[in-house]
Amino acid sequence: MHSEKIRVAVYGTLKQNQSNHWLLADQKRCGEFQCDLITLYDLGPFPAAKLSNSDGVRVEVYEVDDETFARLDELEGFNAESQQSGLYNRIQIQTPFGQAWLYIYNHDVSGYPEIRSGEWFPCRS
């Protein structure tokens, strides 16, 4: 176990009141901020973030333990051996709460709507 804090910045199903937030429910919430480094796309059941400047996406930042970080990598389809082959890759970004990992979608988003509001909401039928 390392002493350095692992922070993650989340923008979709991991945020409060969303379907996968249970993975972060017992972790420390640092706060939220507007991240203008990414643009969100609506893939339906979840959003995709691409590195592309935007007017800002509202992200929540959490400090997580190693076990939770490993579960997040699994959820996001992150492949440490071949980062470009997984569903998501991850990068470190600067946040008001320190460096944090952010998951970036690895595949083409052509044909998916851009989320201009900076906030993803799941479709409710």
pLDDT number for residue 122: 84
Point out the residues of the chain with pLDDT beneath 50: 1, 125
Residues 11, 75 contacting (CB under 8 angstroms): no
Q: Let me know if 76 is a catalytic residue.
A: yes
CA 52 to chain centre: 14
Asked whether residue 123 is assigned to any structural domain, the reply reads no
pLDDT value for 92: 96
Catalytic option among 4, 76, 81, 114: 76
Residue 14 is predicted with a pLDDT of 97
- Tens of pLDDT, residues 82-118: 888 899 999 999 999 999 999 999 999 999 999 999 9
CATH number, domain with residue 88: 3.10.490.10
Residue range of the domain that includes 29: 6-105
Q: Is residue 110 part of a domain?
A: no
Does any domain span residue 76? Answer: yes
Tokens 């479709």 sit on residue: 123
Round to whole Å and give the CA distance between 24 and 5: 15
Closest CA to 64 of 27, 103, 92: 27
- Number of compact structural domains in the chain: 1
Per-residue confidence (pLDDT) for residue 125, from 0 to 100: 44
Tokens at 107, concatenated: 């595949």
Coil, helix or strand for 44? coil
